[in-house]
Amino acid sequence: LWNPAALSRMGCKEVGLHSNTGLGGVTQEIAIVGMPLGEVKEECDGGSLGGLAASLGYVDYGSFNGRNANGVATGNYGGTSDFNGSLGYGKEVLPGLSGGVTLKGDHSRYSSNGYSSFAADLGVLWTVIPNVDLGLVYSNINLGDKVGGAQLNEGWRVGAGWHAARHWLLAASGELQTKSLNRLQMGTEYLIGNLESKYNVLALRAGYVVNYPDPQLTGLSGMTFGLGYTITKSM
């Protein structure tokens, strides 16, 4: 999702289709495909030539109340949307150390105005000790136009994952962004079922995000919960 170096560990082809519907008529559609390159060394251990992934996304923000410079209503308008795409590659460069890069573009429309931008993400993924991974990414390196006269939101992301047991994962990450909220995120996943068979496995997930310095985004608003279920080895 945010560290292209992890593509080095893809063990098989994957396809993701996501559809989100939000408040105010906002809809989002995303399609993602990824695959290992070269010979797969071991299951879930990546391809000998790394891994490649691509995504296409679309967001429709619905309609808005139009007003002129004096604040007088001029009727509703729509057509406010985002189109975006990305291409990422990751490869193990040293035993336990992988690097990756993502190139991405975005075109936004606001009424009759359009803005395009192009950026890159650079990431590394390091197995510090067995069962502990550390990731570091610098995201949104500006490669092209400005968006509405403002620079893209560049910044650092760092995260760590620890398999405390075969069934139990603990994770934490942080974001230091130039033009948005900084975040501290913590999460856990617990798997129930026979992991050897790789089917009929239930995943229980929970997390908490701290957004600062905004005090309104605190308390229970930072809680997240999720479920996952493995039906077969490939679904």
Integer Cα distance of 114 and 139 in angstroms: 23
Q: Which of 2-16, 107-121, 214-228 has the highest mean pLDDT?
A: 2-16
Q: What is the pLDDT of residue 183?
A: 81
Q: What is the pLDDT of residue 56?
A: 97
Integer Cα distance of 37 and 35 in angstroms: 7
**Average pLDDT of the chain?**
87
pTM of the model: 0.80
Integer Cα distance of 8 and 51 in angstroms: 5
* pLDDT per residue as tens digits for the range 132-188: 999 999 998 988 876 655 567 788 999 999 999 999 999 999 988 776 667 889 999
Q: Which residue has the higher pLDDT, 28 or 152?
A: 28
* pLDDT per residue as tens digits for the range 44-57: 578 889 999 999 99
Q: In the predicted model, is pLDDT for residue 33 greater than 70?
A: yes
| pLDDT, average across residues 73-82 | 79
Tokens of 11: 């063990």
Identify the sign of the CA torsion 71, 75, 76, 79: negative
Q: Which residue has the higher pLDDT, 167 or 76?
A: 167
Instruction: Give the distance between the most distant pair of CA atoms in the chain.
Output: 67
